[in-house]
């Protein structure tokens, strides 16, 4: 390529300006100037530089200017390959120049030395022959003051950076550095560097368009900093290459080269940023999120892919575009279908099912509704977690489950800040990304087992925002650092107990108790779900010949499990199927063609580890049957009372009783003392005899107030020696004035009474409402006696028939210490 109208070698002319350089910019010019277009060169005000001339029109212009001693305008072509440029091919800003000297070179070429003055703006081309003429408008230069210290420091920095850059370049090292060091005028030096250093042409035009000398110098410093870094990097990479570069260094060098080439071509072809940009177009981000995305994406494109910050930034942007902004699955509001699915998947749980159906019904009639936040609490194994999956199935929503058991770090909920290496969003947002919708059924499993206050924060308190319908429409994740709307998510929390959940968190949830299953319910669950589920795992030849009748199932429940749920029952069924499969594999004699009876159950599972208590009759005074609730269901409880002569009468309580139950015994004794006359008990008995109350099975802890009337009746029976009515059990809390208060666990206690053969139950009048909520089939064969006072209990429970003579005093002699118990 022939060099025409192009610069001579940079720094080939050592020049300076002595005196006030402002005089150069006061040059008067006319409205029109002959225009000299330059290829790949930008001339700055005040600079003296050589230019090689090659075009005929340019030669005619130079001759005209030299002969007439005229000023010319010097502008730069946008495209150096155009031989005859026109108005649209030229940049709009140039400088006024004067031809100082014309030199004929030995090779026949011509070099002209130009002295530049002030800037002008090109308005329009007026003529193209014999050379270009144009209308121009002078542009004022804003120069710093003579004593401007800031500009002085800036020019010194500029000089140092230029020399540093030249020292790392491949050519002109000595003469170029010498030229820059010997320029005394700071403005001339800045413009001289702008003219001669091989910067990008667009950047040079931007520098020329900047009329403020201080701002031009500041921009030049930024460019020199960058070029120095590039030059040092290039030199460093080349040196390392000579010393056998490893693969990582080679890739880094190539990446830098590719990046520079892409920038020269007018943009970056970064695969990561292009992919993110496409995903962002499809994502329905709100305006504030999109603005942050664009800002962070621009930052990503400026980061070197080899540094750790690049992956952090990339991970953040991928999270941002992966969130289901505005994506909602359509709810299936068919109540009949939802009810069918809930009943098919779970037996019982009527209150929970009704709550879900209420929610579906309300959606049908309301334009907007907040998703409910429900907390299901109850004993293990009753189906709290699986219920969430059934709800999602009924609603046709995505199902998400997060186990919170043992979570001790607040960042698990809210995410980590991006200042940490390996930062990631919290479990809430990660689960939403996995669900790909903004309204899944979100099960927060084992919410009661989150670790409380510790050095990593309080994760339970972090859930306050998540589970508050008034706040979760602007949930703030530390990693995302943008508010995200969780108001459409249906949160279902599960817990075994409410005692470890903070009251503030409980207040935000709708608490629904999932009670333990009764034996009758367990039998149905085993028949409908557990047995078919287990047999489905085996081949048909084995599954078809295993039959468990209801009697055998009930025997397994009563004798081999002690639980509120059905996990233990499921394990026993699995064990039976495993045992039978083993016997069949070993070709042993096993009754595969008939149902598995109780005897076969004992053969397969061994002797029963548990045994239900049976009613023991009323042959003994002081023994009363009570009803108790345990975590594994209802149980009957025997309260035994006796009296013995003592010099220091006391009340002795045994049977591993808790504080509340001990207090109930003290209250019961005080009530009997206060009403001794009504029971025909001589008051002197309490002065000479100790009373002992015992609850069998001393290894089992017992507590609670529901045995109050049972203990009072037991003490009264022991002191009067009156029998207790047959097939009778009772439960209720007692007060000192004899009022019978209601207790809980009524459903489980009633089933325990039925299993033990009890037919009559004494219960508080206030518990009558609980009886009315129980299915009538569970109440068959039972009669209830509702009482409000302990005296009513005594009137019905204590018979006139005596086991022995009551305790009396021998009044024939005056020794009050003689009390007979015959």
Q: Which residues are catalytic?
A: 706, 749
- Convert 11-22 to b/e letters by CB count within 10 Å (16 or more is b): beeebebeeebe
Of 614, 718, 731, the residue nearest 661 (C-alpha):
731
Long-range Cβ contacts of 140-145 (<8 Å, 24+ apart):
140/211, 141/25, 141/45, 141/211, 141/213, 142/211, 142/212, 142/213, 142/214, 143/21, 143/22, 143/25, 143/187, 143/213, 144/187, 144/213, 144/214
CB atoms within 10 A of CB 72: 22
Report which of 790, 808, 791, 782 is spatially closest to residue 729, judged by C-alpha positions.
782
Contact 378, 563 (CB under 8 A): no
Q: What is the DSSP letter of 457?
A: B
Q: Is 422 annotated as a binding residue?
A: no
Q: In sequence order, what are the residues at sequence separation of 6 or more whose Cβ sits closer than 8 angstroms to the Cβ of residue 725? A: 618, 760, 796, 797, 798, 799
The reply, when asked if residue 382 is annotated as ligand binding, is yes
Check whether 336 is labelled as a binding-site residue: no
Quote the strand ranges of 678-778, DSSP E. Answer: 689-694, 722-724, 728-730, 733-734, 740-741, 760-764
Phi, psi for 453 (deg, rounded to 5): -45, 125
Question: What is d(CA 317, CA 280) in angstroms, rounded to the nearest whole number?
Answer: 9
Exposure string over 570-606, b if 16+ CB within 10 A, otherwise e:
bebbeebbeebeebeeeeeebeeeeebeeebbeebbe
732 is in an annotated binding site: no
Q: What is the DSSP letter of 381?
A: T
Ligand-binding site membership of 384 (annotated):
yes
C-alpha span between 322 and 283 (Å, rounded): 8
In whole angstroms, what is the distance from residue 57 CA to residue 412 CA?
74
381 marked among binding-site residues: yes
Spell out the SS3 assignment of 188-232.
HHHHHHHHHCCCCHHHHHHHHHCCEHHHHHHHHHHHHHHHHHHHH
Q: CA of 346: how far to CAs of 388, 391, 513, 688, 776, in Å?
A: 11, 11, 15, 59, 20
SS3 642: strand
| All residues at 6 or more sequence positions from 571 whose CB lies less than 8 Å from its CB, including other chains | none
Cβ contact 472:465 at 8 Å: yes
379 known member of a binding site: yes
Task: Give strand ranges (E) for 646-782.
Answer: 651-654, 689-694, 722-724, 728-730, 733-734, 740-741, 760-764
Strands 633-645 and 689-694: antiparallel
Known binding-site residue numbers for ATP: 378-385
Known binding-site residue numbers: 378-385
């Amino acid at each position: 390529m022939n060099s025409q109208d192009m610069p001579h070698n940079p720094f080939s002319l050592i020049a300076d300006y002595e005196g006030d350089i402002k005089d150069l910019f006061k040059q008067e010019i006319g409205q029109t100037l002959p225009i000299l277009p330059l290829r790949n060169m930008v001339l700055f005000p005040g600079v003296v530089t050589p230019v090689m001339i090659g075009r005929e029109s340019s030669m005619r212009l130079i001759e005209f200017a030299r002969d007439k001693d005229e000023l010319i305008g010097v502008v730069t072509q946008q495209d150096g390959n155009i031989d005859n440029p026109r108005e649209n091919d030229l940049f709009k800003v140039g400088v006024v120049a004067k031809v100082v000297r014309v030199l004929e070179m030995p090779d026949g070429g011509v070099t002209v030395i130009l002295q530049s003055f002030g800037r002008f703006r090109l308005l329009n081309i007026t003529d193209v022959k014999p050379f270009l003429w144009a209308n121009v408008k002078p542009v004022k230069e804003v120069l710093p003051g003579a004593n401007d210290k800031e500009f002085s420091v800036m020019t010194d920095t500029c000089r140092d950076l230029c020399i540093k850059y030249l020292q790392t370049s491949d050519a002109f090292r000595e003469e170029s550095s010498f030229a820059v060091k010997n320029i005394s005028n700071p403005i001339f030096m800045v413009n001289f560097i702008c003219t001669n250093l091989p910067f990008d042409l667009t950047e040079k035009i931007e520098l020329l368009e900047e009329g403020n000398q201080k701002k031009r110098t500041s921009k030049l410093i930024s460019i020199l900093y960058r070029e120095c870094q590039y030059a040092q990097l290039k030199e460093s990479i080349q040196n390392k290459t000579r010393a056998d570069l490893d693969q990582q260094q080679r890739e880094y060098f190539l990446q830098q080269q590719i990046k520079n080439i892409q920038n020269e071509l007018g943009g970056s072809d970064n695969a990561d940023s292009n992919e993110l940009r496409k995903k962002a177009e499809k994502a329905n981000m709100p305006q504030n999120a999109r603005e942050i995305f664009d800002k962070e994406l621009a930052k990503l494109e400026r980061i070197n892919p080899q540094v750790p910050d690049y992956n952090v930034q990339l991970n953040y942007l991928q999270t941002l575009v992966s969130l289901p902004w505005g994506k909602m699955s359509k709810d299936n509001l068919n109540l009949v279908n939802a009810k069918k699915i809930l009943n098919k998947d779970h037996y019982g749980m009527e209150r929970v099912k009704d709550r879900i159906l209420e929610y579906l019904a309300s959606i049908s009639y309301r334009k907007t509704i907040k998703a409910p936040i429900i907390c299901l609490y109850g004993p293990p194994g009753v189906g709290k977690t699986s219920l969430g999956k059934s709800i999602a199935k009924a609603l046709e929503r995505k199902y998400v489950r997060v186990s919170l058991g043992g979570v001790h770090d607040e960042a698990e909920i809210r995410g980590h800040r991006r200042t940490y290496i390996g930062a990631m969003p919290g479990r809430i947002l990660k689960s939403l990304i996995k669900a790909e919708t903004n309204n899944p059924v979100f099960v927060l499993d084992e919410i009661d087992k989150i670790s409380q206050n510790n050095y990593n924060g309080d994760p339970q308190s972090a859930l306050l925002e998540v589970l508050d319908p008034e706040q979760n429409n602007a949930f703030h994740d530390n990693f995302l650092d943008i508010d995200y709307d969780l108001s459409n998510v249906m949160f279902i929390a599960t817990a075994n107990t409410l005692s470890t959940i903070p009251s503030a968190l409980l207040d935000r949830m709708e608490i629904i108790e999932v009670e333990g299953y009764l034996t009758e319910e367990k039998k149905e669950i085993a028949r409908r779900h557990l047995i078919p589920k287990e047999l489905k795992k085996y081949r048909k030849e084995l599954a078809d010949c295993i039959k468990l009748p209801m009697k055998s199932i009930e025997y397994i429940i009563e004798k081999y499990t002690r639980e509120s749920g059905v996990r233990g029952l499921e394990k026993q069924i699995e064990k039976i199927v495993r045992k039978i499969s083993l016997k069949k594999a070993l070709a042993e004699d096993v009754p595969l063609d008939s149902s598995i009876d109780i005897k076969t159950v004992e053969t397969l599972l061994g002797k029963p580890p548990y045994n239900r208590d049976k009613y023991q009759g009323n042959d003994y005074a002081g023994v009363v049957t009570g009803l108790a609730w345990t975590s594994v269901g209802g149980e009957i409880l025997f309260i035994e009372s006796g009296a013995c002569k003592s010099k220091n009468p006391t009340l002795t309580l045994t049977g591993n009783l808790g504080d509340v139950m001990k207090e109930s015994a003290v209250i019961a004794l005080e009530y009997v003392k206060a009403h001794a006359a009504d029971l025909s008990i001589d008051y002197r008995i309490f002065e000479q005899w100790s009373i002992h109350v015992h609850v069998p099975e001393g290894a089992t802890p017992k507590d609670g107030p529901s045995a109050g009337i049972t203990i009072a009746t037991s003490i009264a029976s022991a002191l009067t020696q009156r029998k207790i009515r047959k097939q009778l059990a009772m439960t209720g809390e007692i007060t000192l004035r004899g009022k019978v208060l209601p207790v809980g666990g009524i459903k489980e206690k009633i089933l325990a009474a039925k299993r033990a053969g009890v037919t009559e139950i004494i219960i508080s009048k206030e518990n009558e409402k609980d009886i009315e909520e129980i299915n009538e089939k569970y109440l068959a064969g039972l009669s209830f006696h509702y009482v409000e006072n302990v005296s009513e209990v005594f009137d019905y429970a204590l018979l006139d028939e005596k086991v022995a003579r009551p305790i009396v005093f021998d009044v024939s002699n005056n020794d009050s210490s003689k009390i007979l118990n015959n």
